[in-house]
Amino acid sequence: MKKLSVLFGAVMMVVSVGMAKAQKIATLDLVSVLNAMPEKKKADTDLKAFLDAKESEIKKKTDAMQAKYALYTKEAPTKTEAENKARQEEMQKLQAEAQQMSERAQKDLAEKEKLAYAPIEKKVMDAVNKVAKANSYEYVMDVNSTGLIYKGGPDATPAVKKELGLQ
């Protein structure tokens, strides 16, 4: 019985090795492809400019708020309790506005990223699909993903870059 299970295990190993060799697997350095694309570089630049503008707006708002807080703190001993309470409420309102402004900026940036990167992703995926079909690859794995354990097969990066006209 033990010999039978050893024989069965050996047969399964041979079959699985044969099946693995029958599959055409290629790797792709997706980061390299994306970083070589002028569309991605332009999108990155545009998004950075948008982010810098939003950060500048938020900084102006928070700087003004901090200046007002410093003034109110300095003047607090000379003001009435009602005035100090009103100023405290005003500061809470300004802080809430700054927080909302920051959240809105993050949401706007996420939407802009989605709009900017969607056509780039589609273009790359179309090129990957075309290269994979032309070379009969059954699988194309990204070399940057943590799921890749061994890289020994053909590399589809040059073919995808060529398809995108990047070489």
Phi/psi of residue 151, each to 5°? -120, 100
Two tokens at 154?
A: 């053909």
Which pLDDT belongs to residue 167?
A: 72
- The residue assigned the tokens 């024989």 is 7
Which pLDDT belongs to residue 149?
A: 43
Two tokens at 96?
A: 């809430």
165: left (phi over 0), alpha (psi -120 to 50) or beta: left
Which pLDDT belongs to residue 38?
A: 95
Q: Where are the beta strands (DSSP E) in the chain?
A: 25-28, 139-142
Distance between alpha carbon 100 and the CA centroid of its chain, in Å?
A: 23
The residues of the chain scoring below 70 in pLDDT are 1-22, 146-152
Measured distance CA(144)–CA(30) in Å, rounded: 7
CB 151 within 8 A of CB 27: yes
